[in-house]
Every structure is written in structure tokens, then in C-alpha cells.
Amino acid sequence: MSIIELGEVRDEPTPAPPVRRPRAAGRPLRSGAVLLLALVALAGAAPATGRTVSPVPAARAAAAYLSADGVFVVDPPTSGGDRFLTAYAQPTPDGDVRRRWQAPLARSGDYLNVRVERGLVLALGASAENGVFQTTAFDAGTGQRRWQHPGRSQPTADGGLLLVDDTTDGPGVLSRVEPHTGRRLWSVPIPPPGNPAYHLDNGQVDQIVLVQPTGEVQVHDAATGRELRSIDTLTGDRSAFQRVQVVDDLLLLVPPGSTRLVGHRLPGLDPLWTVDVPLVSYVVGCAGLLCALQQTGGLQVLDPATGAVRWSDPGRDTLADIRHGRLLVAGPDQRYAARDAATGQARAELGRWNLVPTLRRDDPLVGVRPADDGRLVVAELDLVAGRSRIIDVLPDVVGNCQASLPMLLCQRLDGSTALWRLRP
């Protein structure tokens, strides 16, 4: 995407013009005034140091995960000693990070994520023997292990959990489990190559879409597993592979060859439109529109009702986030910009940043970048205001951050992990 240069928005004040050297008469008074002005300017340039820093008791090679009420730490793999998942509470007023509970883990294998869902702490790991994903559930209050099953978890709109096990070469399995017992309630096979699609209700699954190798598309109810509707989408080559995505109430199919995009309405699978969109990589919702990103880096923005192209851009910018009718796009040099989703018009340059993962979808966007003196600059990227607001400049931080403002979890230069509570 091409970006109209509007000038980088800066939080630092414009340097004052050079002051003419004063005459000898009155020099002490004028020098004092100049010093006072310099101190005021410096105070405005640097964020207020209202932060608190709390070291997290974790080994240097441990993995830490930010949560709404604290931090989870997964010990690194070990061949001899014990290995644990440890839950820490939010820092106390004096900055201490206190342990809530600790649960044993397998000595080998990799853990890719830890999060809280349905009153459980769900740890997603990959087996050291075969790389198969498995989810282990712990009681969020006590750390007691509840169950372990193969697969990745997805919360359902009615309070349940789905487990998707599709990492093997053969057909996979999608199951619904009872959250607090792990008891399987029903299962349906996942045809290769896996990757079921989901219709979401307030961010949680209420319908599941599976595509059979024959071209049959099936919609299942996430509560019961019952098939709601199916249609045949391949009238020619019955073995051709096609990709499927769900965006809001639309089922989008990319037929073999990736030269078209076909829209159907969920849950009835009523056909709506077919448009030429070559080399589609994936599609996301863009403030009531559809953003179709191409494998070559271009972008086409479509009307979801008709499939008509509203605007397009063949540039190499990538789509990073969508907020309040604005697109956050990143150029090849990691410079971020805000664009209007409806028109593609450039709104503001936000500067060069590394985007930080946030805990919740509606958390403010946070970017970090190294300063010239080795410190880490932390800023909020505001798409509506069209500016990057510097929050703090942290010493001795290497990065690997996670954010849910005002909390920031990062790795320090010595390999340790700490929590920062930043100023508002």
C-alpha cells in the first residue's frame, strides 16, 4: 500500500531556537533564566517517572505469560530436575510479586501459550516425541490439574470448550469437552488438511465450518455438534483443494487456483457473489468491509453485500490491526501508519515501532523501539488521534514484551523478567 507522507507525529517538543549569548551586564540573572527554561523543556520531553518495577521470580530461560490478574511462568525443559507452571499475583503496593500456586509439568516438550478460560488455566504444549499439540487444564484458583487432552482449545458461546486435534497426517478430530471435568461430550472428524473455520458470537464459537475433500461444506452447531447445513461447492475436480474462511456472517471460499473469492451467507450457505481476486492469502473484517490480502502483498477492500471492490492498493504494506474504522499498516521498514478503512486515505504516520502483543482485543495498541542510549521507548499507538504517545522510556530492557496497559511484561538485559506498572 502506498502511504501519503503526512510527517511523523512526535511527542518530543520542537527544540528551542539558539539563545544569543548575553552581554556581561545582567549575565547571572539571564543565565538563571536560561537554565530554568532548559529544565522546563527537558521535563516536557521525558515521560514522568511514575512507574513501579517488580521483578518476576523466574529462571532466565523460562517463558512468562501476562494475565489479567498476574503472570504465569513455565520453567524451561529439563532432563534431570522438576519442572513447574507457577502462577504469580499482580504486584503488591510495595512491588512484590507473590506466588499463588505451583503445578508440576512434564520435563520435556515446548509450551506455546498459557491463558485463563472458563475458570481454568489452559497450557498449550507440543509433545517432545511427535510434536502433537496438547492442552492441559489447571484450576485457576488452586493450580490443581483437571485434565489433559490432545488438541488446541477454543471457547464456545454457550460456556463450553472445543478441542481441535488436527496436527497428525491423517484425519483430525474436533471435540467438545466439559470445561471442569474434561469429559468429551461429542466429536466430529476433521478432514485433511484440517483447519476448521469458526463463526463467532462476541468472540466465541457458535458454528463450525468443515470442508470435505470432495468439496462439500458443512456447518455444525458448536453446542451439540449437529450438522446444520451442507452444500456441494465443487462441480468439477472432486479432489481439488479449496480454502475457507468465516468473516462475520460470511463464509468465504477460495476455489482451486486462488483467482476468485466466493461469498455465502451463514448459516444457510446461501450463495451471494463471486469476484475475481487473484492470489488471495487471507481475508479479514475491516470495519464493516472485507480486506482481502494477496500473496504478493497487495490489498483489495470489498463490499461484503456485493463483493464489489471499494478500493485497492498494490503496495507491499502489511495490515497489522483494525480499530475504530482505521487500519494500522506497516511498511517494509516497520514504519506504521493509520489509514481510513472506508476509503484507504492515509491519516497519519506513527513512526517506526515493534508492535507488542496485548492481552485483550480491546487493549490499547503498544509499540516499542530501542533508543540511542540503549533504553526502550514505550508508546501507545492511537489510530483515532493519529499519533504515537510516548508513555515511558525503560532502562535495561531488551524486549520480548506483552502489554495490557498500564501493565507491561518484558525481558531485561540480564535475561530476567519483570512487570512494569506504567504511569497513566
Number of residues written out for the chain:
424
pLDDT of amino acid 130: 77
Would you say residue 150 lies in a domain? no
Would you say residue 346 lies in a domain? yes
Would you say residue 414 lies in a domain? yes
- 407 and 358 in a common domain: yes
Of the three residues 352, 377, 400, the one that is the final residue of a domain is 352
Of the three residues 293, 320, 352, the one that is the final residue of a domain is 352
How many domains are there within the chain? 2
pLDDT of amino acid 240: 63
Would you say residue 384 lies in a domain? yes
- 376 and 347 in a common domain: no
Better pLDDT: 34 or 86: 86
Q: Which domain holds residue 360?
A: 354-424
Candidate from 81-85, 126-130, 248-252, 394-398 with smallest mean pLDDT: 126-130
Residue by residue, DSSP assigns 216-275 as EEEEEETTT--EEEEEE--SS-TT---EEEEETTEEEEE-TTS-EEEEEETTTTEEEEEE
- 391 and 361 in a common domain: yes
| Residue 45, pLDDT above cutoff 80 | no
Would you say residue 132 lies in a domain? no
Position 238 confidence tier, pLDDT thresholds 50, 70, 90: low
Residue type, 78: T
Of the three residues 322, 352, 382, the one that is the final residue of a domain is 352
| Residue 404, pLDDT above cutoff 80 | yes
Residue in 271, 269, 294, 272 with CA at minimum distance from that of residue 283: 294
pLDDT of amino acid 30: 39
Which tens digits make up the pLDDT trace of 350-374?
A: 999 999 999 999 999 999 999 989 8
Q: Locate 397 and state its grid cell.
A: 530492557
First to last CA, the chain: 34
- 397 and 382 in a common domain: yes
Residue 305, domain CATH: 2.40.10.480
Would you say residue 410 lies in a domain? yes
